[in-house]
Structure 1
Amino acid sequence: MKTLTRTFSRTFQDRNLGFITQACTRQTTSRVGFLLLDNFSLPCFSQALDVLVTANLISPGAIRVQTFSHDHTEVMSDLGIPIRPDTPLTEVRLSELDLMVICGGLRVARTLPHWLTLLLKKLSKLPVALGGLWNGAWYLGAAGLLDGYRCAIHPEQRTALAERTPYATVSHDSLVLDRDRITSATPKGAFEMMIGWLSCGASRQLADAVLDTLDGNQSKPRRTHKPQQPTLSKALREVIALMEANLEEPLTPAQLSRVVNLSHRQIQRLFKEQLDTTPQKYYFQLRITEARRLIQNSDASIFEVSIACGFVSCTHFSRSYSAFFGHPPSREVRYEL
């Protein structure tokens, strides 16, 4: 019997990027280094690192992360948690990097030691992008490496950097990606900065997958790098929220209409105009997407997953799953818990 093949609408194609395979992404490895300064911002570092670690979970080997300190000794973060770097600062390894990020922080000394000046100028002559977290832009600017660039820095040091580097444009934005200089001023900016870099420096598809995996609110527009995503109306967001809250026992069209006080035809028009699909297709794709998420990230049985996602027949669930993903749920990859 011929296997039925089904495709996701644009909205769910994006959402299911969280489960792409390594074969779908670029096979070369991108190398990112983090230079940790004393009292560096651990929240900024963690947000940036989370993006890269997740990228490797989705596509093993896509990113190689290395951490450095001045003398390869333990560095104390701003939260009092020490971090031990894994790589010594050697010219051979530095030349292999695609990006070096200077990790600053509120209490990092605002001086540019001679060793850091030499290091940054050496890096600027290599095909290596330079980045800064929190006030990391200060050190790039003090070394003369931000002339002609836009940059982001924490508000505490914004004025000081503008005076120190008159040929740089110090932005009020929380992150700035300007050619081979990428800087952020906040933990949230660090997260978005690395998503943006991943999109350009590794794979746009992989960046989308990481964002969709880490972002819990997947129905909101992607301001970071998906400007084409439409802004959903309040009424449509309410309908979608109802669907997401009722997967095990899906609501009927009449029930949806009654709760949001809209006619079935009005709801259909909202989905067509804003998502180019029907409510029925959206609801079904939402359930099958959540089913895959549960299989991959829990120890629930296939039967339990099918019930939790509103499928009364295991056979129907298996056929639908195969139609969308090309294999039955029993062959889905399960991540270690």
Structure 2
Amino acid sequence: MQTVNEHFNAAFEGRNLKFLEQRVPRKTSKIGFLLLDNFSLPCFTQALDALATANLIRPGSVRTHTFSHNGAEVMSDLGIPIRPDTPLTDIRISQIDLMIVCGGLRSPLTVPGWLSGLLRQLAGYSMALGGLWNGTWYIGHAGLLNGYKCAIHPEQRLALAENVPQTYVSHESVVVDRNRLSAATPVGAFQVMIQWLRDRCDPKLAEAVIALLNYEQARFQSITPTTQPKMTKPLREVIQLMEANLEEPLEMRQISDCIKLSIRQIQRLFRTQTGTTPQQYYLQLRITEARRLLQNTDLSVMQVALACGFVASTHFSRTYNKFFGRPPSKESRYQF
């Protein structure tokens, strides 16, 4: 038997973990995916990629199950159907460690009684709950995110905050808060699974998955030019401040005082990195959030206007019409 005298450093150990050890996992982590109509297939596959790779590196680390309401195949947002492998009536559902609700841009935002009841039942088993894309919308409406921080796709971010005020809706794309996991993007879905592997399986296994899957990707990205300049930290701070103050927009002087930059410096940051002025950027941010609220809540036009910092409904309607070519009263309502 050949003796190994050399050891990989941290940068290479993860890539080679599959070949360096054959340890049996102490416990298999059981994860379920509840697929909703028009769920985000990229989110689903990114999450599965992380878990399948973990099993490739250390077999038996994870066992996955897929579910749907009635056991029938579910159509994804890309028009590709997925057939679940386990019925919701299966006794094994109570043994799952983490159930993830997979939503998507066109998933109906009405929350059926069966789904709320199921989620409350699962929470009673003390299992962790997660949401991909807008999956936290359904968990929140079931009353299971009260006091939790969560992530949700930007299209429903402000709407969830308005509809479930007991929940802290983050601007981050990935949030892990105790036994609630959420991701707003496909990349976030991968990251939240990595965090689960790190916390519930083995940190070394999680790092190995990252190293193995990012190796070729990093090489590809290094030769792929980008057309978007990187946003500097000061500009990100200004934008985060704007995002946190939609209902009562800040004056430029207030922003300047908070960020410790002069108004002229802030204007230069926006001009060179966004091609617009701070005032225009702020306005576009507010009007975009207004559209999302109109589409995803039953708030009146005036309530939406006030939530996004427009005191006069006439000003709001005029501005909205300039951006979208129709008044806010004519906007489509996805939920109601």
Please indicate the TM-score interval, normalised by the length of the shorter structure.
0.5 to 0.7
Whether 1:156 and 2:155 are equivalent positions in the alignment is yes
Tell me, yes or no, if the aligned pair for 1:17 and 1:208 is still in contact at 8 Å: no
The Cα of 1:146 is off from its aligned counterpart by 0.6
Tell me, yes or no, if the aligned pair for 1:18 and 1:58 is still in contact at 8 Å: yes
1:182-201 pair list within 5 angstroms: 182-201=181-200
Tell me, yes or no, if the aligned pair for 1:29 and 1:61 is still in contact at 8 Å: yes
**1: distance between equivalents of 2:196 and 2:146?**
21
Whether 1:59 and 2:58 are equivalent positions in the alignment is yes
**2: distance between equivalents of 1:206 and 1:88?**
30
CA deviation string 1:263-288 (max 9, x = no partner): xxxxxxxxxxxxxxxxxxxxxxxxxx
Q: What's 2:93 paired with?
A: 94
The structure whose RCO (Cα within 8 Å, separation 6+) is larger is 1
Q: What's 1:174 paired with?
A: 173
Q: What's 1:8 paired with?
A: 8
The number of equivalent residue pairs is 218
The Cα of 1:91 is off from its aligned counterpart by 5.8
CA gap of 1:125–1:12, structure 2 versus 1, over 3 A, is same
CA gap of 1:156–1:66, structure 2 versus 1, over 3 A, is same
The Cα of 1:90 is off from its aligned counterpart by 2.0
1:294-305 pair list within 5 angstroms: none
**2: distance between equivalents of 1:59 and 1:19?**
10
SS in 1 for 2:215: coil
Tell me, yes or no, if the aligned pair for 2:43 and 2:186 is still in contact at 8 Å: yes
**2: distance between equivalents of 1:188 and 1:219?**
14
Percent identity, aligned pairs only?
59
Q: What's 1:260 paired with?
A: none
SS in 2 for 1:132: strand
1:1-337 pair list within 5 angstroms: 5-23=5-23, 26-90=25-89, 92-216=91-215
Tell me, yes or no, if the aligned pair for 2:14 and 2:211 is still in contact at 8 Å: yes
The Cα of 1:111 is off from its aligned counterpart by 1.1
CA deviation string 1:62-112 (max 9, x = no partner): 111000000000100000000000000026211110100000000000011
The Cα of 1:19 is off from its aligned counterpart by 3.5
The Cα of 1:207 is off from its aligned counterpart by 1.0
SS in 2 for 1:215: helix
**1: distance between equivalents of 2:36 and 2:10?**
43
CA gap of 1:208–1:218, structure 2 versus 1, over 3 A, is farther
TM value normalised by structure 1: 0.62
SS in 2 for 1:216: helix
CA gap of 1:68–1:40, structure 2 versus 1, over 3 A, is same
Question: What amino acid is the match of 1:154?
Answer: H
**2: distance between equivalents of 1:110 and 1:70?**
15
The Cα of 1:20 is off from its aligned counterpart by 4.4
SS in 1 for 2:169: strand
The Cα of 1:18 is off from its aligned counterpart by 4.9
SS in 2 for 1:193: helix
Q: What's 1:225 paired with?
A: none
The Cα of 1:125 is off from its aligned counterpart by 1.0
**2: distance between equivalents of 1:82 and 1:4?**
47
**2: distance between equivalents of 1:75 and 1:187?**
19
The Cα of 1:12 is off from its aligned counterpart by 2.8
Root mean square deviation of aligned Cα: 1.9
Tell me, yes or no, if the aligned pair for 1:17 and 1:212 is still in contact at 8 Å: no
**1: distance between equivalents of 2:4 and 2:95?**
47
**1: distance between equivalents of 2:155 and 2:8?**
46
- Stretches of structure 2 that go unaligned for 5 or more consecutive residues are 220-336
Q: What's 1:293 paired with?
A: none
The Cα of 1:215 is off from its aligned counterpart by 0.7
SS in 1 for 2:55: helix
